[in-house]
A and B are shown apart, each in its own frame.
Chain A
Amino acid sequence: MQTQKNDNWLFEISSKRKLIELNFKEIYQYRDLLVLFVKRDIVTVYKQTVLGPLWFFIQPLFTSVIFTLVFNNIAKINTGAVPPFLFNLSGITAWNYFRICLTGTSNTFRSNAGIFGKVYFPRFIVPLSKVISNLVKLGIQFLILIGFYIYYATQGFDIAPSVYTLLIPVYVLLMALYGLGVGMIISTLTTKYRDLSILLGFVMQLLMYISAVPYPMSELTDSSYGWVVEYNPLAYIIEGFRYVLFNDAMAYFSWESFGVISALALVLFVIGLALFNRTEKTFIDTV
């Protein structure tokens, strides 16, 4: 009787913790909260602005124009069959998704300390809501990308979707996993010691330049520092994204590398989740 009684506790709060714990049932219970968080993230960004959601378009477009000017017109980087502007736009769209997932997640604990310090809900909801709301933003930006894609295709450029294009959702998922994984790792490291969050700002900027965003990986093969890009999994994602999108013969793609980056994404995600679980219980004491 006694033992049976002890078994049906709804939950236990204790200092001991499992290494990895993702309570899907609980997250499902809080699904309304997830939806509201996503809505909040999207709706509030451009409240009290005149252009509103148009700002979602402006940033990637302007960046692409500048990149095209600097890297393609001045530095004369060859983008192959893909028109330089479209090349840059696709890279930036993909990179942006990874970047905002990572930065959004990495702030989880610090920027939500006020809520986390008062009430319990599954903490994982917050990074998850970031990834989903960013997915909506990605979707909007993707529409422009498609617009320009069609425009350039009708202009006679040799770009066309292939059967590989079906892999695009997989690439989006990979970017989300990298963003979440690395973001969660950073978020746990910055709760007590804030040094890393200072670093993050400019590291993200630098990281973009070694992730094959404004240039194809083929440009680097004989460069002495090329290994920096070659060992960067993100470069393979950006490059692969362009390959499946444009069927770009110049872009690097192999199933081996695809397998490796997918495995790495899962590993990072699991490590991130483990650290996140460890931190979420007591971070409020040290934040």
Chain B
Amino acid sequence: MSNIILKAEHISKQYRLGLVGTGTLVHDMNRFWHRIRGKEDPYLKVGAVNDRSAAASEDYVWALRDINFEVKEGEVLGIIGKNGAGKSTLLKLLSRVTSPTTGTIKSRGRIASLLEVGTGFHPELTGRENIYLNGAILGMTKAEITAKIDEIIAFSGCEMYIDTPTKRYSSGMTVRLGFAVAAHLEPDILVVDEVLAVGDAEFQKKAIGKMQAISSGEGRTVLFVSHNMASVSSLCSRTIVLKNGQLDFEGDTEDGISHYLKNHEGHIRSNVQRWSKANQPNDKGVFLTSGRIYGKGKSEDEPIRMDDEIILEYQLEVDDLQRDIFVNTQFLDDNGSILFATTSQFNETRSQSNENGKCVLRMTIQKNFFNQGEFSTNLVVKEHVDGKNVTLFSKTALLSFIVTPRPIELGRWMGKSKGPLRPDFDWTKEFISNE
């Protein structure tokens, strides 16, 4: 069980940026000249870090740099990372499409990947003939395909067209047929790239379901690439995180996902804001010193999970504690539309006032209220004075936070349910007799 089936040792992959032209010929000759003298390739010493958004400063880039990991037999390993982090390059190396610039990958089993949808389909051949061709390209023998062909055709849902050349197929049908073949592979190690799930909504659901079924069942070794944190957290026992071509994290899936969300999701996420004395938002003697939102029982750095209670806190400094200061706060989804607003005016529970003029306004959001996603808050600080509400100051997009999915028991749908909120309500089922 704990046999190591796949082992990557110091693998790196270097790519050349820009076009192939006369300049590359000069480099090739230089490389050749170094090699025949038994020297090291001079271009292996250079090479920029793989950061998609930075300006290209060198001719070479390390798409992957010094990656080490091991996969045990029967393990489902998640691979996450943002676009361009090197996931696909890693998959290419594993599926032997290209070889690493340095380092070694050792495997004890056949590797096949679910990303080769329709590879080698010939437009002039019929669907049935292409199933055989495609299956053989993916490493199946003719006998294996014959045994499964009815299943494959049924899965593709292209029964009617199966003896028609594939050039007459719609592009969606081609993809269906291709995926149907790939899904019926039985390699020792399966590489699943959910990022590339294709087809119409119905088929996508079917495809992802199949991928998940393969990944979860049968104790097969699976490398699972996905952007869907719900499926990663449900399927994978261990996860590696790639960042700019380097191995950023390796370990437990839960930790991996929170590591990824904390450090990788592009823009600045600020679930905590503190201001120094000089630049506190303030008006008429009321100062905002900090605001933060976090999961109950968790540190500020940890991402909030759907099934965490969420705590929102604003800390204010007021010159006169007798003043009736309250806040309105709005919650927005990632499109910036307001989901709901809430106020501390009528339903706050006050503590005994202290002398230093500081107070914390705290609200708790029940668990399982937000759906997974990105949210932000607006804040308006108000005062009730002379029977009127007066706005002191307001801040838009003050805090932002992400809610990560909770693990879902296997076998249930792992897509994101619709809508920004996903509250758990009490439902009852009452059986009514006929009387």
User: A residues near B, CB below 8 A?
Assistant: 6, 8-15, 17, 30, 32-33, 35-37, 40, 43-44, 47-48, 114-121, 192-193, 281-282, 284-286
Contacts and interface: CB of A to CB of B under 8 A. Distances in A.
B110 A40 contact: no
A30 B25 CA distance: 36
A10 B95 contact: no
A23 to B, nearest CB: 13
A117 B103 CA distance: 20
Contact of B99 (A9, A15, A43, A118): A15
Contacts of B105: 12-14
Contacts of B119: 114-115, 118-119
Contacts of A9: 106-108
A36 B116 CA distance: 18
Most B C-beta atoms less than 10 A away, residue of A14, A30, A118, A121: A118
B136 A13 contact: no
B103 to A, nearest CB: 7
Contacts of A44: 122, 124-125
A116 B136 contact: no
Nearest to B24: A192
12 contacts: A9-B108, A12-B107, A13-B106, A13-B107, A14-B99, A30-B136, A118-B97, A119-B112, A281-B99, A282-B98, A282-B99, A284-B98
Given A32-B136, A40-B125, A11 B107 contact: yes
B99 A119 contact: no
B104 A12 contact: yes
A120 B99 contact: no
A10 B73 CA distance: 14
A12 B120 CA distance: 25
A14 B108 contact: no
Interface string B131-165: 01100111111100000000000000000000001
B136 A36 contact: yes
B101 A30 contact: no
B96 interface: yes
Given A121-B137, A193-B20, 18 more contacts: A8-B108, A9-B108, A12-B104, A15-B101, A35-B142, A36-B136, A40-B122, A40-B125, A43-B124, A44-B124, A48-B124, A115-B119, A118-B116, A119-B119, A120-B97, A281-B99, A284-B97, A285-B16
Contacts of A286: 16, 20
B115 interface: yes
Interface in B84-108: 92-108
Nearest to B94: A13
Contacts of B234: none
Interface residues of B, number: 45
A191 B16 CA distance: 15
Interface in B10-36: 15-16, 20, 24-25, 28
Nearest to A16: B104
A47 B115 CA distance: 30
B109 interface: yes
A117 B97 contact: yes
Contacts of A114: 119-120
B233 interface: no
A114 B120 CA distance: 8
Given A48-B124, A114-B119, A193-B25, A14 B103 contact: yes
A137 B20 CA distance: 38
A13 B104 contact: yes
A48 B108 CA distance: 45
Most B C-beta atoms less than 10 A away, residue of A13, A17, A35, A116: A13
B115 A118 contact: yes
B113 interface: yes
A78 to B, nearest CB: 45
A48 B164 CA distance: 13
A40 B122 CA distance: 8
Contacts of A32: 136, 140-142
Contacts of B104: 12-15
A35 B129 CA distance: 12
A285 B106 contact: no
A12 B106 contact: yes
A261 to B, nearest CB: 31
A30 B28 CA distance: 34
Contacts of B132: 36
A116 B92 CA distance: 11
B125 A33 contact: no
Contacts of A192: 20, 24, 28
A117 B89 CA distance: 11
A14 B155 CA distance: 37
Most A C-beta atoms less than 10 A away, residue of B93, B110, B125, B136: B136
B123 to A, nearest CB: 9
B195 to A, nearest CB: 15
Given A9-B107, A40-B122, A15 B98 contact: no
Contacts of A121: 137, 139
B124 A15 contact: no
B98 A285 contact: yes
B137 A33 contact: yes
Interface string B395-408: 00000000000000
A120 B124 contact: no
A141 B133 CA distance: 27
Contacts of B15: 285
Contacts of B92: 284
A9 B7 CA distance: 10
B292 to A, nearest CB: 47
A142 B29 CA distance: 46
B137 A115 contact: yes
A119 B107 contact: no
A119 B97 contact: yes
B220 to A, nearest CB: 16
B108 A10 contact: yes
Given A10-B110, A13-B104, A15-B102, A120 B122 contact: no
Nearest to A287: B20
A33 B16 CA distance: 33
Contacts of B20: 192-193, 286
B3 to A, nearest CB: 9
